[in-house]
Structure 1
Amino acid sequence: MNAIQVHTLSQMTVGGSWQLEQLHLRDHHLFLWITRGQGRILLHGLRRGFGAHNAIFVPAGKLFAMEYGRQVQGQALLIPDDGRVILPDRTHQLRVQDGLAQAELTGLFDDLRRELTEARPLLAEAMTALASMVSIWLRRQMLSAGAQPRTSAAERIVRRFSDLLSDDFRSGKSMATYAEELEITPTHLTRVCRQCAGLTAADMLNQMVQHEARVLLTRSDLPVQDIADYLGFGSAAYFSRFSQQHFGASPTQLRKSSNR
């Protein structure tokens, strides 16, 4: 992704709700502004609820998933991870109670959409300037909110595990290997993940592989064998069984269905 983009939440899931609901990471920064409804997010390994007037920031490369119903409304700002906009390096969720701050952010999104709709000269420069204003808004709100709450030992483990998954989920590593790197037992890793994320460690890894597999099968022309190798499967046959189990279709069938 090279250009700054603005989407509604419904536009983010064209092609399937799995695009937000399954745990995944992105190669761009994601800023969400929720204006109505409520749901749950999994942010850097920690599950929590969200509601109206919540601002959620997910830096590139951080684990994220989102579950919400039809009543939820919101907008998403996608910013390439190329340094053009100064942004925090940590995930954040802010409950914005100040009406002026809410109106200011909504106005910035309106300006971003207007630029995209009218496609005026210097569009890229204007979008960068407005995205920078959103970043300033975010960082000001973070300063107003004060220090982040202290995290528990379990939360710190799950966040470290999330960072390992971000780097290695395509490697085919076992849970035992991840636990060894964290200097804990696989049983303890499963316990703290279930406590903090609402998923077992294996479920977290499985969702990330499923999401990446769907993306590569439906949005790329890579051969199935290459996708299997890239995701750490021992063979295309093993990858096909994985696809059949989780998607109810073979990789080839899933790709054809998406193209239709």
Structure 2
Amino acid sequence: MQLQNILAQSPHEASVASARVRSFGQLTLGAPWRLELQHARASHLVMWITRGQGRATILGKRRGIGAHNALFIPAGTLMSMDLGKQCYGIAVDLPSHEAGILPKEVQHIRVRDVMAQNEVTAILDNMQREQSTHRAFGDEAARAHAGLLAVWMRRMLALEENKPNPRIPAAERLTAAFCSLVERDYRSGKPMADYAATLGVTPTHLSRACRQVGGVTAADIITERVLYAARDMLERGDLPIRLIAEMLGFSSAAYFTRFIQNQTKQTPSALRQAVRS
């Protein structure tokens, strides 16, 4: 089977078919690295935080998040999160092929109005109830509730329209462009210097911008994205380790094994076995 066909059939590459509601714990499938490492999701993601605090890094920009914050992260957007043990809330996966009236860009909405807080809570409660009862026409109901959620976000964003838009710093724009390239090309195995050349800057300048905006280097972002993909394929599938290494641009399975050991202190085989024992 050709590599492109295998990639297309990988579980982490498929968007949800209809809206799906989960807790933050369910979002990680019991493995915190699934949020903590840089990655992109195949579905649009809405997160509503009900308690606690954490940090989100989206397109390389680190931001604090807390109670009564909503995040919208479009499918294919590089991101990571450190939610902390006391951070609770609801996550909604939305099909990437049904953008409709959803925002086109990342949104971070701080909701101070109690009525608006209650409104989104009611929408999410109804989505959870519909999902758990498995009644007839569930997909249609899921789309309807997702539409209400989208309308709620648009209303919240409309309240911000009259406020002046701050100028986006050059370092932030560069970091976001780099993150988009990483998500596109992380399987290529190319070094950070090649990304810098594509962006027309030096590796030093690129890494300085990433550290300024998100607290990590450009090389760290590439490493985390590759590590996420590697762990996902190792722990959720049965592809041979040699093939996974090839899919992620490693010159040999031995080099891939060293990479995994350096990052996790375990071999690829041990990571795979740990989730099945």
Q: Which shows bigger deviation, 112-121 or 84-93? A: 84-93
Q: Hey, which bits of structure 1, 4+ residues long, moved more than 6 A?
A: none
1:259 partner SS: coil
- Secondary structure (helix, strand or coil) at the match of 1:55 reads strand
Matches within 5 A, 1:46-85: 46-83=61-98, 85=100
What is the RMSD computed on CA atoms of the aligned residues? Answer: 1.2
Pairwise CA distance, 1:150: 2.0
Contact 1:30 1:57 in 2 (8 A): yes
Assess if the C-alpha contact under 8 Å between 2:50 and 2:89 holds in 1. Answer: yes
The one-character-per-residue Cα deviations of 1:190-248 (angstroms, maximum 9, x if unpaired) are 10000001100000111111111111111112111111111111111111111111122
- TM (norm. structure 2) is 0.91
Q: Tell me if 1:179 matches 2:196.
A: yes
Query: In the alignment, is the contact (CA less than 8 A) between 2:70 and 2:109 conserved in 1?
Result: yes
Contact kept, 8 Å, 2:178 with 2:195, in 1: the verdict is yes
Structure 1 unaligned residues grouped into runs of 5+: none
Contact 2:172–2:213 at 8 Å: present in 1 too?
yes
Residue 19 of structure 2 is aligned to residue 4 of structure 1: yes
- Is 1:92 the counterpart of 2:107? The answer is yes
Gaps of 5+ in 2: 1-15
- 1:20-39 matches, cutoff 5 A: 20-39=35-54
Cα displacement (A) at 1:119: 1.2
Task: For 2:165 and 2:71, locate their aligned partners in 1 and report how far apart those are by CA, in whole Å.
Answer: 14
Q: What percent of counterpart residues are identical? A: 45
The CA distance in 2 between the partners of 1:155 and 1:163, in whole Å, is: 12
Q: Work out whether residues 18 and 143 of structure 2, in 8 Å CA contact, stay in contact via their aligned partners in 1.
A: no
Q: Number of paired residues? A: 260
Q: CA deviation at 1:142?
A: 1.2
Counterpart of 1:6 in structure 2: which amino acid? V
TM-score (norm 1): 0.97
- CA distance in structure 2 between the aligned counterparts of 1:206 and 1:84, rounded to whole angstroms: 30
